[in-house]
Protein backbone atom coordinates (compact mmCIF):
# COMPACT_ATOMS: atom_id res chain seq x y z
CA UNK A 1 0.00 0.00 0.00
CA UNK A 2 1.35 3.40 -0.99
CA UNK A 3 0.19 6.60 0.60
CA UNK A 4 1.24 10.13 -0.27
CA UNK A 5 2.98 11.90 2.59
CA UNK A 6 4.43 14.65 0.38
CA UNK A 7 2.72 17.31 2.50
CA UNK A 8 4.84 16.45 5.56
CA UNK A 9 7.48 19.09 6.27
CA UNK A 10 8.55 18.20 9.80
CA UNK A 11 8.72 15.32 12.26
CA UNK A 12 8.32 15.40 16.03
CA UNK A 13 9.96 12.37 17.61
CA UNK A 14 9.38 10.88 21.02
CA UNK A 15 12.52 10.09 23.03
CA UNK A 16 12.24 7.00 25.22
CA UNK A 17 11.31 3.87 23.33
CA UNK A 18 11.50 5.70 20.02
CA UNK A 19 15.11 6.85 19.72
CA UNK A 20 16.39 5.56 23.05
CA UNK A 21 16.23 1.94 24.19
CA UNK A 22 13.60 2.11 26.94
CA UNK A 23 14.70 -1.00 28.83
CA UNK A 24 18.42 -0.25 28.89
CA UNK A 25 17.87 3.41 29.69
CA UNK A 26 14.92 3.42 32.09
CA UNK A 27 14.84 0.16 34.02
CA UNK A 28 17.83 1.22 36.15
CA UNK A 29 16.44 4.75 36.52
CA UNK A 30 13.06 3.41 37.65
CA UNK A 31 14.80 1.34 40.31
CA UNK A 32 16.90 4.28 41.53
CA UNK A 33 13.86 6.54 41.74
CA UNK A 34 11.76 3.97 43.60
CA UNK A 35 14.54 3.21 46.08
CA UNK A 36 15.03 6.92 46.78
CA UNK A 37 11.29 7.40 47.31
CA UNK A 38 11.30 4.42 49.67
CA UNK A 39 14.12 5.83 51.78
CA UNK A 40 16.39 2.92 50.89
CA UNK A 41 13.86 0.22 51.84
CA UNK A 42 14.10 -2.30 48.98
CA UNK A 43 10.85 -4.05 49.86
CA UNK A 44 8.96 -0.78 49.77
CA UNK A 45 10.78 0.22 46.58
CA UNK A 46 9.47 -2.96 44.93
CA UNK A 47 5.94 -2.05 46.00
CA UNK A 48 6.38 1.39 44.45
CA UNK A 49 7.72 -0.10 41.23
CA UNK A 50 4.69 -2.36 40.93
CA UNK A 51 2.35 0.56 41.61
CA UNK A 52 4.10 2.49 38.86
CA UNK A 53 3.75 -0.35 36.37
CA UNK A 54 7.25 -1.87 36.55
CA UNK A 55 7.34 -5.50 37.74
CA UNK A 56 10.62 -5.78 39.68
CA UNK A 57 10.69 -9.57 39.25
CA UNK A 58 10.42 -9.64 35.45
CA UNK A 59 11.43 -6.04 34.57
CA UNK A 60 8.33 -5.80 32.40
CA UNK A 61 6.78 -2.34 32.26
CA UNK A 62 3.07 -2.02 31.61
CA UNK A 63 2.20 0.15 28.58
CA UNK A 64 0.62 3.44 29.59
CA UNK A 65 1.60 3.06 33.26
CA UNK A 66 3.19 5.98 35.15
CA UNK A 67 6.72 4.59 34.80
CA UNK A 68 6.17 4.04 31.08
CA UNK A 69 4.45 7.26 30.19
CA UNK A 70 4.23 9.90 32.92
CA UNK A 71 6.55 12.73 33.72
CA UNK A 72 8.19 13.27 37.08
CA UNK A 73 5.07 14.84 38.59
CA UNK A 74 2.90 11.89 37.57
CA UNK A 75 5.36 9.37 38.97
CA UNK A 76 5.61 11.29 42.24
CA UNK A 77 1.81 11.39 42.50
CA UNK A 78 1.68 7.62 41.98
CA UNK A 79 4.32 6.98 44.63
CA UNK A 80 2.71 9.44 47.05
CA UNK A 81 -0.59 7.58 46.75
CA UNK A 82 1.19 4.50 48.10
CA UNK A 83 3.42 6.24 50.62
CA UNK A 84 0.88 8.60 52.10
CA UNK A 85 2.43 10.40 55.06
CA UNK A 86 5.78 8.71 54.39
CA UNK A 87 6.21 10.65 51.14
CA UNK A 88 9.48 12.61 51.27
CA UNK A 89 8.66 16.34 51.05
CA UNK A 90 11.32 16.90 48.38
CA UNK A 91 10.41 13.85 46.28
CA UNK A 92 9.68 15.79 43.07
CA UNK A 93 13.07 17.49 43.22
CA UNK A 94 14.73 14.14 43.92
CA UNK A 95 13.01 12.41 41.01
CA UNK A 96 13.85 15.28 38.66
CA UNK A 97 17.50 15.12 39.71
CA UNK A 98 17.66 11.35 39.30
CA UNK A 99 16.12 11.63 35.83
CA UNK A 100 18.91 13.97 34.75
CA UNK A 101 21.63 11.90 36.39
CA UNK A 102 20.16 8.67 35.05
CA UNK A 103 19.95 9.96 31.50
CA UNK A 104 23.62 10.88 31.67
CA UNK A 105 24.56 7.43 33.03
CA UNK A 106 22.22 5.02 31.29
CA UNK A 107 20.92 6.39 27.98
CA UNK A 108 21.37 3.93 25.09
CA UNK A 109 20.48 4.78 21.51
CA UNK A 110 18.33 2.37 19.51
CA UNK A 111 19.93 0.85 16.44
CA UNK A 112 19.40 3.04 13.40
CA UNK A 113 18.06 6.04 15.32
CA UNK A 114 20.94 8.41 14.57
CA UNK A 115 20.90 7.44 10.91
CA UNK A 116 17.12 7.97 10.76
CA UNK A 117 17.43 11.49 12.14
CA UNK A 118 20.16 12.32 9.62
CA UNK A 119 18.02 10.91 6.82
CA UNK A 120 15.04 13.05 7.80
CA UNK A 121 17.15 16.18 7.87
CA UNK A 122 18.77 15.27 4.56
CA UNK A 123 15.25 15.24 3.07
CA UNK A 124 14.85 18.85 4.22
CA UNK A 125 12.51 18.08 7.11
CA UNK A 126 12.65 19.92 10.41
CA UNK A 127 13.04 17.49 13.29
CA UNK A 128 11.99 18.00 16.90
CA UNK A 129 12.00 15.93 20.07
CA UNK A 130 9.19 15.87 22.65
CA UNK A 131 9.37 13.92 25.90
CA UNK A 132 7.60 13.54 29.22
CA UNK A 133 11.07 13.40 30.74
CA UNK A 134 12.43 16.57 32.33
CA UNK A 135 14.48 19.00 30.23
CA UNK A 136 17.52 18.11 32.31
CA UNK A 137 17.01 14.40 31.74
CA UNK A 138 16.44 14.94 28.03
CA UNK A 139 19.59 16.99 27.55
CA UNK A 140 21.72 14.62 29.61
CA UNK A 141 20.45 11.64 27.62
CA UNK A 142 21.08 13.32 24.28
CA UNK A 143 24.56 14.38 25.31
CA UNK A 144 25.42 10.83 26.34
CA UNK A 145 24.37 9.37 22.96
CA UNK A 146 25.93 12.16 20.89
CA UNK A 147 22.71 13.80 19.72
CA UNK A 148 22.95 17.05 21.66
CA UNK A 149 22.79 19.18 18.52
CA UNK A 150 20.74 16.89 16.30
CA UNK A 151 17.31 18.50 16.69
CA UNK A 152 15.76 21.75 15.52
CA UNK A 153 13.53 21.93 18.60
CA UNK A 154 13.45 20.29 22.02
CA UNK A 155 10.52 20.25 24.44
CA UNK A 156 10.06 18.41 27.74
CA UNK A 157 7.45 17.95 30.42
CA UNK A 158 8.74 20.93 32.38
CA UNK A 159 9.16 23.28 29.39
CA UNK A 160 5.84 24.99 30.11
CA UNK A 161 3.57 23.31 27.53
CA UNK A 162 2.16 20.50 29.64
CA UNK A 163 2.71 16.76 29.29
CA UNK A 164 1.56 14.22 26.73
CA UNK A 165 -1.17 13.35 25.86
CA UNK A 166 -1.99 17.04 25.94
CA UNK A 167 -1.34 18.83 22.63
CA UNK A 168 0.88 21.56 24.09
CA UNK A 169 4.29 20.19 23.14
CA UNK A 170 3.15 19.30 19.63
CA UNK A 171 1.64 22.74 19.08
CA UNK A 172 4.75 24.41 20.48
CA UNK A 173 6.88 22.59 17.90
CA UNK A 174 4.56 23.69 15.09
CA UNK A 175 4.74 27.31 16.21
CA UNK A 176 8.50 27.23 16.71
CA UNK A 177 9.21 25.93 13.21
CA UNK A 178 6.49 27.98 11.52
CA UNK A 179 4.46 25.08 10.12
CA UNK A 180 0.80 24.16 10.31
CA UNK A 181 0.18 21.04 12.42
CA UNK A 182 -1.22 19.22 9.37
CA UNK A 183 2.24 19.50 7.76
CA UNK A 184 3.85 17.62 10.66
CA UNK A 185 4.25 13.98 11.62
CA UNK A 186 4.57 12.61 15.15
CA UNK A 187 6.47 9.44 15.95
CA UNK A 188 6.21 7.56 19.23
CA UNK A 189 6.00 4.22 21.00
CA UNK A 190 3.02 4.95 23.25
CA UNK A 191 -0.67 5.76 23.05
CA UNK A 192 -0.07 9.18 24.60
CA UNK A 193 2.19 10.11 21.65
CA UNK A 194 -0.58 9.31 19.19
CA UNK A 195 -3.19 11.08 21.31
CA UNK A 196 -1.02 14.20 21.55
CA UNK A 197 -0.63 14.30 17.78
CA UNK A 198 -4.34 13.78 17.15
CA UNK A 199 -5.31 16.53 19.58
CA UNK A 200 -2.80 18.89 17.94
CA UNK A 201 -4.14 18.16 14.45
CA UNK A 202 -0.96 16.58 13.07
CA UNK A 203 -1.07 15.29 9.52
CA UNK A 204 0.54 11.93 10.25
CA UNK A 205 0.88 9.64 13.26
CA UNK A 206 3.55 6.93 13.18
CA UNK A 207 3.76 4.35 15.97
CA UNK A 208 6.93 2.35 16.60
CA UNK A 209 7.08 -1.03 18.32
CA UNK A 210 10.52 -0.45 19.82
CA UNK A 211 9.27 0.75 23.21
CA UNK A 212 6.59 -0.14 25.75
CA UNK A 213 3.54 0.07 23.50
CA UNK A 214 2.09 -2.98 21.76
CA UNK A 215 0.57 -3.28 18.32
CA UNK A 216 -2.86 -3.79 19.91
CA UNK A 217 -2.45 -0.53 21.85
CA UNK A 218 -1.10 1.54 18.99
CA UNK A 219 -2.72 0.29 15.81
CA UNK A 220 -6.14 1.88 16.44
CA UNK A 221 -4.50 5.27 17.07
CA UNK A 222 -1.80 5.46 14.40
CA UNK A 223 -1.81 5.99 10.65
CA UNK A 224 0.94 3.40 10.34
CA UNK A 225 2.81 1.09 12.69
CA UNK A 226 6.46 0.23 12.07
CA UNK A 227 9.13 -1.68 13.92
CA UNK A 228 11.42 1.24 14.65
CA UNK A 229 12.50 4.69 13.48
CA UNK A 230 15.01 2.96 11.22
CA UNK A 231 12.05 2.37 8.87
CA UNK A 232 10.78 5.94 9.01
CA UNK A 233 12.47 7.25 5.85
CA UNK A 234 10.71 4.57 3.83
CA UNK A 235 7.36 5.49 5.36
CA UNK A 236 7.83 9.15 4.51
CA UNK A 237 8.67 8.13 0.95
CA UNK A 238 5.21 6.56 0.84
CA UNK A 239 6.29 2.98 1.40
CA UNK A 240 4.04 1.42 4.02
CA UNK A 241 3.63 -2.07 2.64
CA UNK A 242 6.64 -3.84 4.16
CA UNK A 243 6.19 -6.62 6.65
CA UNK A 244 7.56 -4.39 9.38
CA UNK A 245 5.09 -1.63 8.59
CA UNK A 246 2.11 -3.78 9.48
CA UNK A 247 -1.23 -2.46 8.30
CA UNK A 248 -2.52 1.08 7.92
CA UNK A 249 -5.73 2.58 9.25
CA UNK A 250 -7.64 1.57 6.10
CA UNK A 251 -7.50 -2.01 7.39
CA UNK A 252 -5.04 -3.38 4.84
CA UNK A 253 -2.14 -5.63 5.67
CA UNK A 254 -1.54 -8.06 8.48
CA UNK A 255 -2.67 -8.79 11.98
CA UNK A 256 -3.76 -6.94 15.05
CA UNK A 257 -7.12 -5.66 16.19
CA UNK A 258 -8.71 -2.25 15.68
CATH number at residue 148: 3.40.50.1000
Please choose, from the candidates 52, 10, 38, 67, the residue with its C-alpha nearest in 3D space to the C-alpha of residue 212. Answer: 67
Query: How are beta strands 126-130 and 153-155 bridged, if at all?
Result: parallel
Q: What whole-number distance in Å separates Cα of residue 36 and Cα of residue 57?
A: 19
Give residue 239's pLDDT band: very low, low, confident or very high (50, 70, 90). very low
Asked, for residue 257, whether it belongs to a domain, the answer is no
Domain range for 136: 10-21+109-236
β partners of residue 126: 10
The neighbour count for residue 110, using CB atoms within 10 Å, is 23
Domain count, the chain: 2
In a domain? residue 58: yes
In the structure, what pLDDT confidence band is assigned to residue 42 with cuts at 50, 70 and 90? very high
Tens digits of per-residue pLDDT, 57-115?
999 999 999 999 999 999 999 999 999 999 999 999 999 999 999 999 999 999 999 99
Whether residue 77 is found in the same domain as residue 143:
no
Q: What's the whole-number mean pLDDT along residues 158-171?
A: 97
Amino acid sequence: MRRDWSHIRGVLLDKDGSILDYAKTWLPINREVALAAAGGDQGLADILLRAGGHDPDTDRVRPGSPLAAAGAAGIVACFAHVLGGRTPPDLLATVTRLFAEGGGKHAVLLDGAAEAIKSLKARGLVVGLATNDSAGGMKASLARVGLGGAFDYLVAADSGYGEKPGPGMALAFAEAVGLEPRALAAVGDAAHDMEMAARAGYGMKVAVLSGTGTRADLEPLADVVIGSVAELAAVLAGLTGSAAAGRDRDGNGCGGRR
